[in-house]
Chain A
Amino acid sequence: MGVLAHVLEAAGLATVGISLIRGQAETVRAPRMLHCQFPLGRPLGRPNDPAFQHDVLRRAFSLLPRTDVPVLVDHPDVIDDETDAPLACSLPPRFDPELPAALDEVAGLRTAYDRQLQRTGRTLVGRVAGPDGVGDLVARFLRVADGASLDEVGLSGRNAIAAAQDVRAYYEEAALALAEHTPAARRAESWFYTATETGRALRAARDRLEADGVDRNVWYYLTPASQ
């Protein structure tokens, strides 16, 4: 992002950037940066907190008159991710014992997913499949965890990463509805990968692909490195 700041500034645009990794900001020496020690993925700090977001913007825009570049200023607040504190989120009881547990879970969370979609009017599910197809994607990852190749389940290469993102988004959006608040960063992620059947299946699929010698650029990006 810092390189882009240099390019835009040289082209006659005044820039101010939000930094999330201070070491990078120090190295790239962009014209004006407000370093925010906020969670990766949340450069404005707090979702659904307009007052806090306006405070970040006010501090960023206050750097615009500065021409003694490069300027790097710290936001006084620190917000940490909470990867180690998975969201406490109740899962639906088994409904259809004939189904694999992960697929039953996907079906059971649909009401919560739909509630969140209705609340926000937007969803991050839909790159490979929409919400109706999430169960099918999970079934494919279950087969991969059991030893099937990605080609055999129709998820070759990068398509598998996109499918994994759809599945994760379905669960995280359902979790937002179940929690009825926006949890601290990475809590929904940790809940998904550690407390749900599908999250465990994705991790098992990743581990199986790694053990089978599949391209690291595929299996490594199926799940967050922290999971």
Chain B
Amino acid sequence: MSADAAIRDRLSNLPAPVFDPVAATTAPPLSEARVAIVTTAGLRPAGEIDLWQPGDFSFTVLPGDARDLQLSHFSPNFDRAGFAADLNVVLPADRLAELAADGTIGSVAANHLSFMGAQTDETFSTLRLDTGPAAAKLLRDDGVDVVLLTPV
């Protein structure tokens, strides 16, 4: 069994909060939408060197033009060389810029955001009641319509 297969096997049946009904926001046409990336890769801007800690549900603001980002996820259990070679494989900021330039999307958000995933708190109450809504407000204040979520 490959390393990833073993992890998938171990994590596939973790419990998760139930959201019922599932919210659905109607997006504007993609060509008019302002798009942000929200990743759970545990990224930080260059110079912010703290390793992300388990149980920390805060988020970091990643300036839209920043490319020198640190991978601060605490876990060693995923490939890191891909991100070292090309940050777009986790945070496709250059791809969004290209889509904005050719008119596929309306625009790219001023900032992207990062949380750190692989959390084991079954309630996720901080994320649901505090940092998640705060992140949403930050994005809405920037006129964001659409969020692309990426894990590691």
Residues of A in contact with B (beta carbons under 8 Å apart)? 1-24, 27-31, 39-48, 50, 53-54, 57, 60-61, 64-65, 67, 69-70, 80-84, 116, 120-124, 126-128, 158, 161-162, 164-165, 168-169, 172-173, 175-176, 182-183, 185-189, 217, 221-226
Using C-beta atoms within 8 Å of the partner chain, give the interface range for chain B. Answer: 35 or more
List of B residues within 8 angstroms of A44 by Cβ: 88-90, 92, 95, 150
- Provide the bound-state CA to CA distance between A67 and B25, in Å: 8
Instruction: Type the 1/0 row for B19-63, where 1 means its CB is closer than 8 Å to any CB of A.
Output: 100111111001001000010100000100101011000000000
15 contacts between A and B (CB under 8 A): A3-B16, A3-B17, A8-B149, A12-B140, A13-B146, A24-B12, A27-B13, A41-B152, A44-B89, A61-B105, A67-B24, A158-B53, A164-B76, A168-B76, A183-B81
Whether A13 touches B127, Cβ cut-off 8 Å, given contacts A40-B79, A188-B81, A226-B3, is no
- Provide the bound-state CA to CA distance between A65 and B77, in Å: 34
Q: Are B127 and A3 in contact (CB under 8 A)?
A: yes
A52 to chain B, nearest CB (A): 10
Residue of B14, B22, B38 touching A6 (CB-CB under 8 A): B22
Q: Are B139 and A13 in contact (CB under 8 A)?
A: yes
List of A residues within 8 angstroms of B136 by Cβ: 7-8, 11-13
Whether A127 touches B82, Cβ cut-off 8 Å, given contacts A24-B11, A81-B3, A83-B2, is no
Q: Are A41 and B22 in contact (CB under 8 A)?
A: no
Whether A41 touches B49, Cβ cut-off 8 Å, given contacts A4-B127, A12-B136, A65-B27, is no
Q: Are B86 and A168 in contact (CB under 8 A)?
A: no
A139 to chain B, nearest CB (A): 21
- Provide the bound-state CA to CA distance between A42 and B83, in Å: 7
Given contacts A11-B132, A22-B12, A176-B81, 18 further A-B contacts (CB under 8 A): A1-B117, A7-B132, A9-B24, A13-B25, A13-B146, A14-B33, A18-B148, A22-B8, A29-B19, A41-B152, A50-B94, A67-B26, A81-B3, A81-B79, A122-B67, A175-B81, A224-B77, A225-B6
Residue of A70, A128, A226 touching B77 (CB-CB under 8 A): A226
Q: Are A28 and B16 in contact (CB under 8 A)?
A: yes
List of B residues within 8 angstroms of A67 by Cβ: 24, 26
Q: Are A81 and B2 in contact (CB under 8 A)?
A: yes
- Provide the bound-state CA to CA distance between A20 and B40, in Å: 12
Q: Are A80 and B150 in contact (CB under 8 A)?
A: no
**Chain A residue nearest in CB terms to B81:** A188
Q: Are A162 and B51 in contact (CB under 8 A)?
A: yes
- Provide the bound-state CA to CA distance between A30 and B150, in Å: 13
Q: Are A124 and B71 in contact (CB under 8 A)?
A: yes
Leading 6 A-B pairs by shortest Cβ distance: A23-B12, A11-B136, A14-B27, A7-B132, A226-B3, A17-B149
- Provide the bound-state CA to CA distance between A32 and B150, in Å: 12
B16 to chain A, nearest CB (A): 4
